[in-house]
Structure 1
């Protein structure tokens, strides 16, 4: 571990927490919750409680994110806050292993706590990017993190899927025991691979630190102060709106893909395979995407990714076979990680020194708002046209609008540089 560079140690946290995103959030929890913990509840009721839990976790994050970011900046506590939320999230995830059948209330409580901790830890994690890389390396280092996240999430998810398909190979009695054990394995994975960051990344705190009590009091009014600071940075504010739009489109495609796959008759095990394809294609593709950004610039590379998403979307509206669904998964894997990684790196360049936690609090909040408009637009257009394929085209305005605002962000930067040169 001592030989790891700070940048690699930082990137390994993506490897660590992506296990939760892949195994728990996207993979096993929704299915296991309905079939094991909430099996006695009617399906609509279990769906309601699961959705309510995620909504409440997101609302709590929205309320606390500016305070967490402001406190991290004021006290230089980004690593401390990151590790505290990691302990909370990994502990809650591992505790799911202990719950018996029917314990749906406790399952939701632990899942809500783990989800909140996962989202909150990313505020401090993203804010540490300037501590491990110079601005010209933000793109490659951020891409390395997302690439390791895809690989790590894919590896542990493949292991957990293998345990459920062949429990006897692992000394387990059945698939139920295997899924339950997967939660413990995910919690331990998350905690273990966060240790390199804690040991190798050196955080440079503020020159003068306020008293903890004063910083706590100041953080309570952080919403208004953060909004004032963000308005003073028009490029950062414009990019945040652009990011909100196009990442909404990205997440809508991800979330609608499963429903779309089922609509063309793809079996559930095929959907798991498609998810694994995205994970393992995403690993090398994200690294290559970072190199592409080094040659053509981060903004142009993001534009290229958004253009690819438009083509993927148009292709999806004409898709009618399982093979095409798998090819679509490959296409998503080629660009998804690159767009996510370069967006984080691009925004890191726009954040004023000393306000990384504060600004990334807004960045992560908007990321959690992703897929807010997309599903509604898709549903409305599908209802109006009575054609699911036409409904998918409703996502196009999100990519177009996001691309236009990204172009406007670049124009603002160019104008600012011309003004400085003129002076």
Structure 2
């Protein structure tokens, strides 16, 4: 089978779609190695040396919340500015650079230097999350309506594959540092952080080469203005307009809830399992297998969404997450963690990819960046709540189990709001707005 046919079957028939999806391959290395697996382990073993597991977990959670709060404040303003000034790719590149530099700098964190570790981890989170605001928006500019679900899920599948491949190399480094001429396990961790930076940067280059900068304010008739004051004025206007798109707003509210649970599980599960006494080898092996399972599962959700619709497919993933958060309360062994990590791998990519493609359908193309800025605000502020709940529950109960169980609320409530979204009505409203804007441009 030719390469072109393979790409087409994945839902990426055109070069710009492939370049766009490759960014998921690039930045997922940061998510798997630094957010999900190795840095939490390194933080607990090295940076937070001398702290109890409970205190380390609480500080790690609060550090994550602060970083996400910064992105939540910046996202809508930068989104409005990028639309008016035509600098979407430049802003993506800025946040990419922030993430790459801070990732490499994690190699400088030594024993007991938990403050430095959290600062660099926070800056890297700002870089990654900030870049995704503009990356997600690009999909609306390069994909047709019938390509959205397949392209979005293909991107997440590539992310699983790329992040998993690099993490497997890191696993070998950490498990057998002597094989690679590394003096210690700590040196293997540090080399892994630097390799993430190089991987992220290198595989991001096709996006900047293949995808043209979207034209500023293409349908609005508003002249490009590089001004934060003008961007803030447009931001106020956009917030007022967003209320007119009821279905998009309902999806944002649903996403606020269920993405909180998803993000918290991703960020805190490794520390939770480490606190139970699980070794790095078992943890990384479980995450690796979860990544491998996620590749075909995410692609399958893209196909399922084309048959039953993205909303129904998304509801399935939330039901699975609710079961995981309930069963995690009873987790006792490495085998339990392995099973639950595998189940999460089945739905994680699908839930995130379908949320992105569904929201893209419900907003006008000429307002995509600004609305994705608001989408990011709700996503990041929602991500503040989960780690804070974890820290609070640990403080109140002295146990991480109650904190994991509390995530059940976010999935049930998110599904309840999502059930009220009328997808067809939302699509009609977005397309009508595009037609009106085109008529007046």
Question: TM > 0.5 between the two?
Answer: yes
Matched, 1:349 2:361: yes
Render the CA deviation track for 1:190-221: whole Å, top value 9, x for unaligned: 100000111111233134674544x3321244
Name the TM-score, length of structure 2 as normaliser.
0.82
User: In structure 2, which of residues 96, 102, 124 is the aligned counterpart of residue 86 of structure 1?
Assistant: 96
Residue ranges of structure 2 left out of the alignment (5+ in a row) = 5-12, 433-441
- Residues in 1 aligned to 2:120 and 2:334: alpha-carbon distance in whole angstroms: 36
- Residues in 2 aligned to 1:320 and 1:100: alpha-carbon distance in whole angstroms: 31
Q: Secondary structure at the match of 1:119?
A: helix
Residue ranges of structure 1 left out of the alignment (5+ in a row) = none
Structure 1 residue 84, shift from structure 2 partner: 1.9
8 Å Cα contact 2:22-2:155 kept in structure 1: yes
Structure 1 residues 168-207: aligned runs within 5 Å: 168-206=178-216, 207=218
What does residue 79 of structure 2 align with?
A: 69
- Residues in 1 aligned to 2:100 and 2:311: alpha-carbon distance in whole angstroms: 35
- Count of residues in Structure 1 that have an aligned counterpart in Structure 2: 417
Structure 1 residues 316-395: aligned runs within 5 Å: 316-317=328-329, 320-373=332-385, 394-395=406-407
Q: Secondary structure at the match of 2:420?
A: helix
Render the CA deviation track for 1:89-142: whole Å, top value 9, x for unaligned: 212222333566666555444333222111110110000001221112111100
Structure 1 residues 196-345: aligned runs within 5 Å: 196-206=206-216, 207=218, 210=223, 212-213=225-226, 215-221=227-233, 223-255=235-267, 257-258=269-270, 261=273, 266-317=278-329, 320-345=332-357
User: In structure 2, which of residues 126, 136, 139 is the aligned counterpart of residue 129 of structure 1?
Assistant: 139
Q: Rate the CA distance shift 1:28–1:201 in 2: closer, same or farther, 3 A.
A: same
Q: Rate the CA distance shift 1:411–1:51 in 2: closer, same or farther, 3 A.
A: closer
What does residue 148 of structure 1 align with?
A: 158
Structure 1 residue 76, shift from structure 2 partner: 2.2
8 Å Cα contact 1:10-1:201 kept in structure 2: yes
Structure 1 residue 412, shift from structure 2 partner: 7.5
Q: Rate the CA distance shift 1:177–1:319 in 2: closer, same or farther, 3 A.
A: closer
Q: Rate the CA distance shift 1:212–1:107 in 2: closer, same or farther, 3 A.
A: farther
Render the CA deviation track for 1:226-255: whole Å, top value 9, x for unaligned: 321211211111110011112223234445
Matched, 1:23 2:40: no
8 Å Cα contact 2:72-2:378 kept in structure 1: no
8 Å Cα contact 1:378-1:393 kept in structure 2: no
Q: Secondary structure at the match of 2:213?
A: coil
- Residues in 2 aligned to 1:259 and 1:174: alpha-carbon distance in whole angstroms: 22
